[in-house]
A and B are shown apart, each in its own frame.
Chain A
């Protein structure tokens, strides 16, 4: 069952935002989605309209402690991202093997890049959000080096928080488009509605249904969902399969 890693070379570039919306997109298509966050200081609940007072249960916590938002199961990995038990545990839970009824979206902070590399080797895709700011671009060579050709072949790049009124941003975006080519799955415009929704303790889709960032991130998750669909239809939960039929 698919494990999708969200991890970028630089912090603060929207990895958690993208992971949250990818989970929502997959869930809207009928998949049974679990989000697993790794940040010691986690802000994932805010993207679901929850308050900062909520702390997410661990992966192994019983079902009655689960935090479910719109059917999405939000969990936190309480140990180090490097913990050797992680991949065996995911395997025991049925991930990392064929079957597409359940999907897990992992939000791994940029600093945990060693763990992210190990997870990427087992994951079916790596979604890599970045901004086109120079400090984000400057980390790309190192990230490419760590990922290697095989890792990069399963990496989908996303430009986040793009402000095309800025000359440097336009140039940076043109650079990433040329560099990543087919591996760039889209761009998300910078949009004040993203922090505003958090301030309102509302999901972005409720607070600002017309948000530019929302429509952009939906387009991206739509493409990734399409890609999942196309390889094998059996991952789809029955409700979505009957809708598609």
Chain B
């Protein structure tokens, strides 16, 4: 770390620092066709992800922005544990981990609803940390 950065952190009484959130709107998220293209890619739906469920519930008329604590939290311990369940039972190296059942593929998931939700998540973070001026490249 540069000495001037080090000094600044010392003055702020912080051990680390990152710039905090700028506001993003739904329309901003729509600017990136690659995200939409990825969401439409059926191969991405192999993961036991909440995204499509969310997209579906949003189309059921439940399209309000989620409360911050409804957003996807960091992985809870129990769910990470399944990663390491491989060696728990028996000595068979290729024993299958207890894989959660995959979500049924639904390539018609409402992409716009998901983008809206992503936008809401980003905005909530911005609101929680105070809003800085928009960056120049917007």
Contact = CB atoms under 8 A, between A and B. Distances in A.
B93 to A, nearest CB: 4
Contacts of B29: 171, 174
A185 B72 CA distance: 11
A171 B97 contact: no
Given A97-B93, A175-B35, A178-B118, A167 B138 contact: yes
Interface string B73-114: 011110111111111101101101101101000000000001
Contact of A227 (B24, B28, B84): B84
Contacts of A164: 18-21
A234 to B, nearest CB: 10
A141 B81 contact: no
A223 B44 contact: no
A175 B84 contact: no
Give chain A's interface secondary structure class: helix
Contacts of B72: 177-178, 181-182, 184
B14 to A, nearest CB: 8
Contacts of B70: none
Interface string B123-134: 000000000000
A224 to B, nearest CB: 7
Contacts of A223: 75, 77, 80
A65 B50 CA distance: 49
B60 interface: no
B41 interface: yes
A171 B74 contact: no
Interface string A173-196: 011011111111110010011001
A237 interface: no
Contacts of B138: 167
B34 interface: yes
A145 interface: yes
Contacts of A171: 24, 28-29, 32, 35, 118, 122
Given A171-B29, A171-B35, A210-B15, A124 B86 contact: yes
Interface in B1-48: 1-2, 6, 9, 15-22, 24, 28-29, 32, 34-35, 38, 41, 43-44, 46-48
A155 B80 CA distance: 9
B47 to A, nearest CB: 5
Contacts of A125: 83-84, 86
A152 B93 contact: no
Interface centre among B48, B83, B96 (most CB of A within 10 A): B83
A12 interface: no
Interface in A89-120: 91, 96-100
Contact of B91 (A97, A138, A211): A97
Contacts of A54: none
Nearest to B78: A230
A152 B41 CA distance: 16
Contacts of A182: 48, 72, 75-76, 79-80
Given A96-B93, A196-B1, A232-B87, 15 more contacts: A2-B87, A140-B38, A145-B43, A150-B97, A150-B99, A170-B122, A171-B24, A181-B48, A182-B72, A183-B48, A210-B1, A210-B6, A212-B16, A227-B81, A231-B88
14 contacts: A122-B93, A125-B84, A141-B43, A145-B43, A152-B48, A170-B24, A175-B38, A178-B117, A181-B48, A182-B80, A189-B18, A211-B1, A215-B16, A227-B81
